[in-house]
Amino acid sequence: MKRLTIPAIRRRKKDGVTAEPIVMLTAYTARQAQLLDAHCDLLLVGDSLGQVIYGLPSSVPVTLDMMINHGAAVVRGSYHAAVVVDMPFGTYEQSPQQAFENAARLLKETGCAAVKLEGGEAMAETVAFLSQRGIPVMGHVGLTPQAVNVLGGYNARGRSDAEADKIVADAKSLDDAGAFAVVIEGVVEPIAIAATKAIACPSIGIGGSAQCDGQVLVTEDMCGMFERVPRFVKRYADIAGLISGAAETYAAEVRARSFPGIEQTYQPKK
């Protein structure tokens, strides 16, 4: 199976219509990437790995080295989906030059096809700078988790007219700057639809609308790894239950000395 290209993803939306919605999930490890690869168009090495893998309180402390290590693992584990790696907080906001230097490291050291960064109009110049120099960029507007210290939490965005207009304008400016797609996170549905209609490139919804051009979820969220998940998550499995159930049975068998059994032990040749 040949790997999907970023231009092929971009072309999914033609004259405002996306006949086949874009499927995207997060992946942080090689094995996870292997399992998701055949089902997805895009794999996102999200900086949500800060909370999901490292137990950090937000994505703010995530480093470029973390993204490089996990990005390389996901590229190694996948063959079909195009891999997008998040630029972590503090590695791109200062200037287009800073962003280019760090985005180039992500491409060179992981083999990923594109990067994602958060922010709207303020990031448009940077998106143009990168995409004109060989680095495809996915934008991310609405609820932008790296801005949690400014936003004050993870509440849905776009409930006031001013906020709604800003989100649509943000998406539009990223599209005009050459972003190949824009994630629209945690916004009221009419604004997700308005932003989708306002841009020529595909929108990828998460807490957006089924009318977005694609969807993304954090894999651990949709697989039921956590008790508490945002409203926009649908659980397709109960991984937490499976893992804790397996650990419970294992622990009981070790304590009863019924594990390892005869099948799991080596015996001398007779």
Q: Rounded to 5 degrees, what are φ and ψ at 229? A: -135, 155
Q: Tell me whether residue 22 or residue 218 sits nearer to ligand KIV (CB atom).
A: 218
For tokens 């950090």, the residue is: 56
Annotated binding-site residue? 116? yes
One-letter amino acid identity for 160? Answer: S
Residues that bind ligand KIV (CB under 6 A): 26, 44, 46-48, 86, 183, 185, 206, 216, 218
138 SS3 class = strand
Q: By the 8 A CB rule, do 131 and 116 touch?
A: no
Q: Closest approach of Cβ 231 to ligand KIV, in Å?
A: 14
Q: Give CA–CA dist 222/250, Å, rounded.
A: 26
For position 46 contacting Na ion by CB under 5 A, the verdict is: yes
Which of 26, 28, 42, 47 touches Na ion (CB under 5 A)?
47
Q: Closest approach of Cβ 127 to Na ion, in Å?
A: 16
Burial of 233: CB neighbours in 10 Å, binned 0-12, 13-18, 19+: middle
Q: Closest approach of Cβ 252 to ligand KIV, in Å?
A: 36
Q: Closest approach of Cβ 146 to ligand KIV, in Å?
A: 9
Annotation says 185 is catalytic: yes
Query: Where do the DSSP E strands lie in the chain?
Result: 13-14, 17-18, 22-26, 42-45, 82-86, 114-116, 137-142, 181-185, 203-206, 214-217
Catalytic residue among 185, 248, 253, 263: 185
Annotated binding-site residue? 86? yes
Q: 218 contacts which partner out of ligand KIV, Na ion, none, CB within 5 to 8 A by kind?
A: ligand KIV
Annotated binding-site residue? 121? no
Q: Using the Cα atoms of residue 26, residue 33, residue 243 and residue 63 in order, give the sign of their dihedral.
A: negative
Point out the annotated binding site. Answer: 47-48, 86, 116, 118
Point out the annotated binding site for Mg(2+). Answer: 47, 86, 118
Point out the annotated binding site for 3-methyl-2-oxobutanoate. Answer: 47-48, 86, 116
Catalytic residues: 185
